[in-house]
Structure 1
């Protein structure tokens, strides 16, 4: 198995909305591998956040890729808008995509990479038959909708099952974790099998600044990344 390299992906959810372009530039300068936009519709999750026009306006300020995490009840109607806005990766929730295989395929047709997110209670078995259309699986380590929540350690068992499933498939699918990722929790997620790590509230509050925070997260994850096996039957 090739060694896995951790990717640190800041979320702009805690950013100053009045200066998003500058916030994006700061995150790029801090060493972000890409930037995540948490898109919330006020229905699937309580909050209402970034529309495609806002993301498109910020795109020219970024030297790294954008990913859109669509926490919305009707993702299919929005896919093209977020790809056109400059999101190279679009993530939909398995809980909201009625025809998940079709939705993931459509994201790729639009020229973006496809991702599927799983809430903490959602079993990995729901994506077993769509791996061929998937570039990334996001295991939520909090319940979606708010920043600053506490990490749910029990999701690490799910990450282990995902890692085993993906390794067995032979497909180059990333495993991302999002929610409560800090210098104290990232090692557990990495050891379980994740290789992409979203950090928002912790990174923005880190007293050493964003660049040192990104590096600390990268170092903690890299130290913990090891090949992981798990029982595929436990789902």
Structure 2
């Protein structure tokens, strides 16, 4: 897979004081996704983003949602949110004994199904589910907080995963999340990722540069 890459803006990193500015700019450049991190303080040592916030966000934008459930018992907690047909939803493989049930639930909703894995998780753990999902989200940093450094070995993990999918003749998407700078996005795109979560490392870190300009710069390195 080497089509144009897609961007997913991390709303956890978007300051509320500039939210309408961000959403307006995203809409003008046809941003592909808003990345919605859901954290319960148990699976990771942080809380984000709540049901009321996500419900309000849905009312003020029609940009597609890219949910990322970093929670214990994702099967239950996904039901707390208004997941719609066409939304993209990632749930974690780790600490999850209901992988098939999660896949079945999202299938009934008409959502795009992704399984997320932490930096230390072997992607081969997902082999039995690959034919039932749309993609895999790879964490390049320990999950929970923004601003951490990319773990170098996760770059080759993307390449190895893409080669593995190609060997199985599966055209799944690979989403990269965690310290995705413009430089890292360029490398990971060449290795096989095609969806990139943009947060403090490359989208919201420079208040002096227009968001549209930052997005344009990032898109240039992911096949645009």
TM above 0.5, yes or no, is yes
The number of aligned residues is 222
Query: What residue in structure 1 maps to residue 205 of structure 2?
Result: 205
Report the secondary structure of 1:68's partner residue: strand
CA distance in structure 2 between the aligned counterparts of 1:181 and 1:3, rounded to whole angstroms: 18
Summarize the alignment of residues 119-198 of structure 1 with structure 2, pairs less than 5 Å apart.
119-198=118-197
CA distance in structure 1 between the aligned counterparts of 2:17 and 2:64, rounded to whole angstroms: 21
Contact 1:7 1:33 in 2 (8 A): yes
Contact 1:67 1:87 in 2 (8 A): no
Contact 1:83 1:90 in 2 (8 A): no
Report the secondary structure of 1:10's partner residue: strand
Contact 2:8 2:66 in 1 (8 A): no
Give how far 1:104 is off: 1.6
Report the secondary structure of 1:109's partner residue: helix
Contact 2:136 2:172 in 1 (8 A): yes
Report the secondary structure of 2:128's partner residue: coil
Query: What residue in structure 2 maps to residue 66 of structure 1?
Result: 65
Contact 1:72 1:96 in 2 (8 A): no
Question: In the TM superposition, what whole-angstrom CA distance separates every residue of 1:137-168 from its partner, at most 9, and x where no partner exists?
Answer: 00101110011111222101111121122223
Query: What residue in structure 2 maps to residue 215 of structure 1?
Result: 216
**Structure 2 CA distance for partners of 1:46 and 1:131, relative to 1, 3 Å:** same
Report the secondary structure of 2:150's partner residue: coil
CA distance in structure 2 between the aligned counterparts of 1:152 and 1:169, rounded to whole angstroms: 27
Query: What residue in structure 2 maps to residue 110 of structure 1?
Result: 109
Query: What residue in structure 1 maps to residue 28 of structure 2?
Result: 29
Q: Which runs of 5+ in 2 are unaligned?
A: none
CA distance in structure 1 between the aligned counterparts of 2:82 and 2:170, rounded to whole angstroms: 23
CA distance in structure 1 between the aligned counterparts of 2:29 and 2:145, rounded to whole angstroms: 24
**Structure 2 CA distance for partners of 1:120 and 1:142, relative to 1, 3 Å:** same
